[in-house]
């Protein structure tokens, strides 16, 4: 059966002199992996150069139930980006989010609602000229609801946030995975923000990196298989 679907690319790795291994998320099909032939022919139906992190492509392939790697029959850019891959700051954010999504998105994370969240978020970042320093923080906080690990927001006025229980509590839990004070308030504010208002949340680079560290700790508590992310170190150095 021939499948035609929109795909958000997470990762492309050179496998041999003439092949790439590509991983991504299809709007209707879920997680997909391809082997893409490297070709420099100007009229090739599948140009390997378009398979880059966070590219949105329309890909056609033949479904083979026992095959782990599919071979695309045709591919084209579905959503051209104007700045995600050319702005150094946006490119660092994009690579970080692509690596993160590669690790946390499983096959069951499919469907238009989830895919549209990713596409809408990236479109907002691509068109933003300023005020996007907190984008990756808000993106990760909102992503949690699609992964089934969203924090409970019913008691946000309480002083402690239990990272393991994913809720605000009145007293410090018996374990070490909790935050309070300014850090708990930062989590509370992130849960109430959207992309158009997040610029009002003024943070220093040190504060932003600390909040990102806490968000990643939260994810690792709820998704234990999440490894250390190589692109995090690059992201830590950007912004002022």
Total residue length of the chain: 240
Q: What is the pLDDT of residue 7?
A: 96
Q: What is the pLDDT of residue 110?
A: 63
Task: Provide the 3-class DSSP secondary structure of residue 44.
Answer: coil
Contact 129/89 with Cβ under 8 angstroms?
no
HSE-CB for 2 with a 13 A CA cutoff: 5
Among candidates 21, 56, 57, which has minimal Cα distance to 38?
A: 21
From the CB of residue 189, how many other CB atoms can be counted at a distance below 10 Å?
17
* Architecture of the structural domain at 2-79: Beta Barrel (2.40)
Higher pLDDT, 236 or 211: 211
Q: Is residue 58 pLDDT above 90, yes or no?
A: yes
Q: What is the pLDDT of residue 17?
A: 83
Identify the band that residue 94 occupies on the pLDDT scale cut at 50, 70 and 90: very high
**Lowest mean pLDDT: which of 40-44, 49-53, 114-118, 149-153?**
40-44
Q: What percent of the chain has pLDDT over 90?
A: 61
Identify the band that residue 73 occupies on the pLDDT scale cut at 50, 70 and 90: very high
Q: Is residue 83 pLDDT above 80, yes or no?
A: yes
Contact 78/44 with Cβ under 8 angstroms?
no
* Mean pLDDT, rounded, for 46-56: 93
> How buried is 118 (Cβ within 10 angstroms: 0-12 exposed, 13-18 middle, 19+ buried)?
buried
Distance (Å, whole) CA 62 – CA 69? 11
Distance (Å, whole) CA 99 – CA 104? 9
Q: What is the pLDDT of residue 232?
A: 85
Task: Provide the 3-class DSSP secondary structure of residue 182.
Answer: helix
Q: Is residue 237 pLDDT above 90, yes or no?
A: no
CATH 1.10.1060.10 fits 88-236, yes or no: no
Q: Is residue 127 pLDDT above 70, yes or no?
A: yes
Q: Is residue 106 pLDDT above 80, yes or no?
A: no
Q: What is the pLDDT of residue 132?
A: 92
**What are the sequence ranges of the domains in the chain?**
2-79, 88-236
Prediction pTM value: 0.91
Distances from the Cα of 204 to the Cα of 108, 197, 236, angstroms: 37, 17, 12
Among candidates 25, 115, 32, which has minimal Cα distance to 69?
A: 32
Q: What percent of the chain has pLDDT over 70?
A: 98
Higher pLDDT, 27 or 233: 27
For 190-222, the pLDDT digits (tens) are: 888 889 888 888 888 888 899 999 999 999 999
Same fold, 2-79 and 88-236: no
Contact 186/202 with Cβ under 8 angstroms?
no
Q: Is residue 108 pLDDT above 60, yes or no?
A: no
The overall average pLDDT reported for the chain is: 90
Q: What is the pLDDT of residue 55?
A: 97
């Amino acid at each position: 059966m021939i499948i035609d679907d929109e795909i958000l690319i997470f990762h492309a790795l050179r496998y041999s002199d003439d092949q790439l291994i590509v991983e991504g998320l299809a709007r209707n099909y879920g997680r997909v992996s391809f082997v893409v032939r490297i070709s420099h022919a100007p009229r090739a139906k599948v140009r390997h150069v378009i398979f880059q992190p966070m590219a949105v492509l329309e890909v056609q392939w033949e479904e083979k139930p026992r095959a782990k790697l599919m071979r695309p029959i045709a591919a084209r850019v579905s959503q051209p980006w104007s700045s995600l891959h050319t702005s150094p700051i946006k490119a660092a954010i994009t690579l970080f989010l692509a690596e993160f999504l590669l690790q946390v998105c499983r096959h069951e994370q499919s469907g238009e609602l989830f895919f549209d969240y990713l596409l809408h978020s990236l479109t907002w970042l691509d068109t933003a000229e300023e005020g996007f320093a907190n984008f990756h923080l808000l993106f990760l906080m909102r992503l949690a609801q699609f992964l089934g690990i969203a924090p409970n927001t019913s008691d946000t006025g309480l002083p402690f946030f239990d990272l393991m229980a994913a809720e605000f509590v009145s007293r410090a839990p018996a374990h070490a995975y909790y935050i309070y004070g300014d850090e708990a308030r930062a989590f509370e504010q992130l849960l109430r923000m959207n992309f158009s208002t997040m610029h009002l949340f003024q943070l220093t680079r040190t504060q932003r990196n600390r909040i990102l560290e806490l968000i990643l700790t939260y994810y690792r508590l709820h998704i234990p298989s999440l490894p250390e992310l190589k692109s995090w170190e690059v992201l830590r150095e950007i912004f002022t």
